[in-house]
Amino acid sequence: MWLGAVFCILLILSSVSSSHAGRNSVAYISDQTDLRVEVVASNLVVPWSLAFAPDGRLFFTERLGRVRVIVEGQLQEEPAAQLNVAAVGEAGLLGLAIDPEFERNRHVYVYYSYQLALGGLWNRVARLSEANNRLFNETIILDGIPGAGIHDGGRIKFGPDGKLYITTGDAANAELSQDINSLAGKILRINKDGSIPLDNPFPNSSVYTLGHRNPQGIDWHPLTGKLFLSEHGSSAHDEVNIIEPGKNYGWPIVIGGAGDPRFTDPLLESGTTTWAPSGASFYDGDLIPDWKGNFFIATLRGKHLRMVSLNPPNFDSVMMTEALFQDQYGRLRDVIQGPDGYLYISTSNRDGRGSPATDDDRILRIASVSATTITQPTTTTIQPTTTVPTFAAPFRPELLLLTIAAIAIVLLVISFRRRPSG
């Protein structure tokens, strides 16, 4: 009889343990019934920007200063580069972009923060050369971007015109956003060598637009070529803007849609709700047909992937907007479309403002249920060169049940031994 009881307890424990293990498996079924979310890489330290090379390798930055590479689903143990950055608050190694002619020149671009000997944070854009998953030969192509512990912007992307676009924050000094002579609170546009394009809206200036607070997401509509921007508002009023050269987007004079003819109103704002939008991308794939042409924004405080559908044929007004994967993966920092036609997102739960799971931070792939499962990478934790906050391990219910079961088994055995033999 006591053997039967033990068997039942072990059977229950096996069921509980298997259920818990399933939460850490490769595929996660999403709240969208025909989609699943897979882990591409885990145990990362604040991944900030994702970019695919033409050969399919995924390069990404970690805010503490590392550039890392995923090759055929495998996270490389050694970083491609370890840059000397000032990882202070929101500052650090932020944006990353792959040269449109990467196959010829092997160039990768990064945006990072640094600190002068006498104090003070600044940001710059540098170009690196790549060979065998290593980056070297740093060349600074743009410097003198004001920095701070907050509002550093930091997204860099190449546009359809081959120019490099750079988002900068107001560096905690809102007045700089309206100063045409400051690089803070702007969208900048430069040539690949750092020179100023002749068709920029302001003569001899890299400034493309002004009046921004902390923009972190940019991408171009796949049909119209219009540039869309996601931007942090002040106390909510986060924005999605359509960017036009030379325009002033109002910060800090106006917030949200003010209807002031001096400034350009946002296409969409969050109202009294805070999204804290970061990286953004259009989805132009065919594998998730319902999402084709939509604008996706990774949100930090909002803890969801924001989908914005636009009205044809001009795609300059909002049809609808929806929060996807609400609270499922925590803070989201970036979203891009991969060469396989699916979306990739990164979490930012170890940035000091999140509640990390044991395997955070992660890069995830949103794929259809019928898609081929990617190879789960071997998890390798590389010790950061800067101290990373430690967090308490989450409650593990199966460990409690195992303890209770062990006690029950011991009591059963003792009871059996005390029973009279006849």
pLDDT digits (tens, 9 = 90+) for 132-141: 999 999 999 9
Local confidence band at 330 (pLDDT 50, 70, 90 cut-offs): very high
Structure tokens at 101: 């002619």
Answer whether residue 396 shows pLDDT above 70. Answer: no
Q: What is the CATH number of domain 25-382?
A: 2.120.10.30
Answer whether residue 234 shows pLDDT above 80. Answer: yes
Q: How many CA atoms lie within 13 A of 67 on its CB side?
A: 30
All structural domains of the chain with their residue ranges: 25-382
Burial 270-305 (b: 16+ CB within 10 A, else e): beeebbbbbbbbbbebeebeebeebbbbbbbbbbbb
- How many Å apart are CA 385 and CA 43, to the nearest integer? 15
Structure tokens at 313: 């044929």
Local confidence band at 368 (pLDDT 50, 70, 90 cut-offs): confident
Which has the minimum average pLDDT: 25-29, 175-179, 198-202, 247-251?
Answer: 25-29
Structure tokens at 138: 């740093």
pLDDT: is 43 or 374 the higher one?
43
Helices (H), 230-307: none
- How many Å apart are CA 158 and CA 192, to the nearest integer? 9
131: three-class secondary structure by DSSP: strand
Burial 77-102 (b: 16+ CB within 10 A, else e): eebbbbbebbbbbbbbbbbbbbbbeb
pLDDT given for residue 408 in this prediction = 61
DSSP string, 287-356: SSGGGTT-EEEEESTT-SEEEEEE-TTT--SEEEEEEESTTTS--EEEEEE-TTS-EEEEE-TTSSSS--
pLDDT given for residue 131 in this prediction = 98
- Residue of 396, 393, 301 lying closest to 356 (CA atoms): 393
pLDDT: is 367 or 279 the higher one?
279
- How many Å apart are CA 46 and CA 361, to the nearest integer? 6
Task: Tally DSSP H helices, then E strands, for the chain.
Answer: 3, 26
Structure tokens at 373: 């499962």
Local confidence band at 415 (pLDDT 50, 70, 90 cut-offs): low
pLDDT given for residue 402 in this prediction = 54
- How many Å apart are CA 332 and CA 297, to the nearest integer? 9
Cβ contacts of 52 within 8 Å, gap of 6 or more: 58, 59, 98, 336, 338, 339
Answer whether residue 1 shows pLDDT above 80. Answer: no
* Cβ proximity of 88 and 57 under 8 Å: no
pLDDT: is 408 or 328 the higher one?
328
